[in-house]
Amino acid sequence: MDPQQMLEPEWIFPFQGMAVGDSFFIPTARVAEMMYAIESGAKRAQVRVKAYPTIKDECLGVRVWRVR
């Protein structure tokens, strides 16, 4: 299957339960779309995050840290 046709699951971001310095990783082949969704979700939750594309256990994804 073409990676562009793969469906992403519905993600629920745990912003409200995070302390400053906490992080989570989301595996995804659609890094740019995920970063946009993360930034939009953080804005709605009124928290500040930093998100970076990264690889964990040989899997591409996005690592997100709560910074404020």
How does the average pLDDT of the chain come out, rounded?
90
DSSP codes joined into one string, 3-67:
GGGPPPPPP---GGGPPTT-EEEEE-S-HHHHHHHHHHHHHHHT--EEEEEEEETTEEEEEEEE-
pLDDT value of residue 1: 55
Summarize the confidence of residues 54-68 as an average pLDDT.
96
pLDDT value of residue 11: 80
| 47, pLDDT greater than 90 | yes
Residue-wise pLDDT tens digits, 11-33 = 889 998 999 999 999 999 999 99
Domain boundaries, the chain: 19-66
pTM for this one?
Answer: 0.81
Summarize the confidence of residues 24-51 as an average pLDDT.
95
